[in-house]
Amino acid sequence: MRLREWNQVKLTSQKRKDRASDSEEIGVEGGRMDFLRSLFSRTLGLSPGEKVLDELTLDGVARYILSGKCKNIICMVGAGISTSAGIPDFRSPGTGLYANLQKYNLPYPEAIFQIDYFKIHPEPFFALARELYPGQFKPTVCHYFMRMLKDKGLLTRSFSQNIDTLERVAGLEGEDLIEAHGTFHTSHCVSFLCRKEYSMDWMKNKIFSEDIPKCDSCGSLVKPDIVFFGENLPDRFFTSMKMDFPRCDLLIIMGTSLQVQPFASLSEFGMGLIGFGGGMDFDSDKAYRDVAHLSTCDDGCMALAELLGWKEELEQMVKREHALIDSRDVKKKDEANQNSKSTGAEAGKTDKTA
């Protein structure tokens, strides 16, 4: 099987390492060499590794989780986990974001996320941001499955390529989440001499009033803290990568084709993949730990939840959380309508007085 499907769930299991000894060994030169020697050996297929799944199926993964031996789960997720929420992915032919940007008259689709292009022509990005701005979509089954892993004490971290903040809406907090491609949660002035920070509410007001956000200190553009082409990934991406992956018991990859670097290299860093190409091994004679479940991300999560005995709990969580979001939206609309009526009434009084 090739890694060509967006809406698939891929899982890989690993032998759990002791955290304390990990830190002690990697902290000294000899330990570093042992770690690298082991990593390269597994990467080149020179060591078969330890088989921890009794079967290379979703059932085998579920039994591993329920065994109590799987204590540190990492999720790697991309745009495919948000498509059922109504947010397009990037590269799907015909329906992906890049295939539907003609109206912005870009020199090429990726230019909308190029930092140099943005500094000269910010209008296309902010027009797109109005369409896709966080707060207009609900988290999916997949997002709440990760929340359930957190609630059960199994989630070490979720590494996300997404900028839609739906992981946060679903209940993952700062320590649970590495937003590898940044977030709309905060914004900064693009000037290196200024870098003033702005809140999500400030940016939202600017975007929906169709104003190009400018810094009130220096007049430069203000950009949400999402990572454009030509910018570095957040420091936490690299520090967490080095800390989390060596102790990972199970890696769940959902909704990403693993085409974009350096995010795609995470799977190689932690998993010691067989073969020089760094691809997962699902069905060769050497296969011992990689499982592919081909379905939509939501269906895959629900299938795994059912095998774990969590299906009803997950369904109830999705229903409850979506109802809370709907109730908050209704409250906001009522408050907005009330403010509008109050403003109209005040204007009427002023007219009569005049």
Residues with catalytic roles: 181
298 token code pair: 């939501």
Q: Has 70 been labeled as part of a binding site?
A: no
What's the full length of the chain, in residues? 354
57 is an annotated ligand-binding site residue: no
| 95 assigned ligand-binding residue | no
Written as one string, the DSSP assignment of 168-200 is: HHHT--GGGEEETTEEEEEEEES-TTT--EEEH
Known binding residue 212? Answer is: no
Phi-psi bin for 36: left (phi > 0), alpha (psi -120 to 50), beta? alpha
Is residue 205 marked as binding?
A: no
What is the spatial distance between Cα 150 and Cα 124, in angstroms, rounded to a whole number?
Answer: 37
How do strand 197-199 and strand 182-189 relate by DSSP bridges?
antiparallel
256 appears as a binding residue in the annotation: yes
**Cα(102)–Cα(132) distance, rounded to whole angstroms?**
16
Whole-angstrom Cα Rg for the chain: 23
Amino acid at 211: D
| Encoded tokens for 248 | 């990972």
User: Is 239 marked within a binding site?
Assistant: no
Is 79 known as a binding-site position? Answer: yes
**Rounded-to-integer distance, Cα 328 and Cα 334, Å:** 10
Compute how many other C-beta atoms are within 10 angstroms of the C-beta atom of residue 4.
Answer: 8
Q: Tokens 């995470």: give the residue.
A: 266
297 is in an annotated binding site: yes
C-beta neighbour count of 234 within 10 angstroms:
17
Is 89 marked as a binding-site residue? yes
248 is in an annotated binding site: no
Is 194 assigned a ligand-binding role in the annotation?
Answer: yes
Residue 247 annotated as lining a ligand binding site: no
d(CA 165, CA 188): 17
Q: Flag whether 100 is marked binding.
A: no
Q: How far apart are CA 123 and CA 74, in angstroms?
A: 37
257 is in an annotated binding site: yes
Q: Which residue positions form the known binding site for NAD(+)?
A: 79-83, 89-91, 161-164, 256-257, 297
Output the known binding site for Zn(2+): 189, 194, 215, 218
Q: Which residues are annotated as a binding site?
A: 79-83, 89-91, 161-164, 189, 194, 215, 218, 256-257, 297
